[in-house]
Amino acid sequence: MEKRVFLSIVIVLFSYILISSPQTNYAVYDAPSYAKWGKEAMMIAKEKYPSADIVDYQHLGKEVKEKTEIEKFKLWMRQQEIEYGLYVFIEYDKDSEKIVRILTKKTDR
């Protein structure tokens, strides 16, 4: 009988500890508005330079026009032992988000 009482007390205490322990609040991370276009810029870079690795990328901002917007990125690429920058400008229709034009420019800086 003593084992049952002891076990019951342990279960009750353990349950209390689980219920009363503070809940961890994780901040909800909202992806930046340009994240979709950043992924697109990386896919464009991999298509253009398939043997290169993308080391890093930076969002340079957005240019807003009347009917389109241009998301601007600079990717840092590494191919074998050579590193270079690749600018990727993605122009898309504001309403449909359909890509209108893609410009790329390779640079040594």
Residues 53-109 have pLDDT tens digits of 999 999 999 999 999 999 999 999 999 999 999 999 999 999 999 999 999 999 987
* Beta carbons within 8 Å of 84's beta carbon, 6+ residues apart: 76, 77, 106, 107, 108
| pTM for the model | 0.72
Residues 22-46 have pLDDT tens digits of 655 556 678 888 999 999 999 999 9
What are the tokens at 28? 């909800």
Q: What is the DSSP letter of 29?
A: P
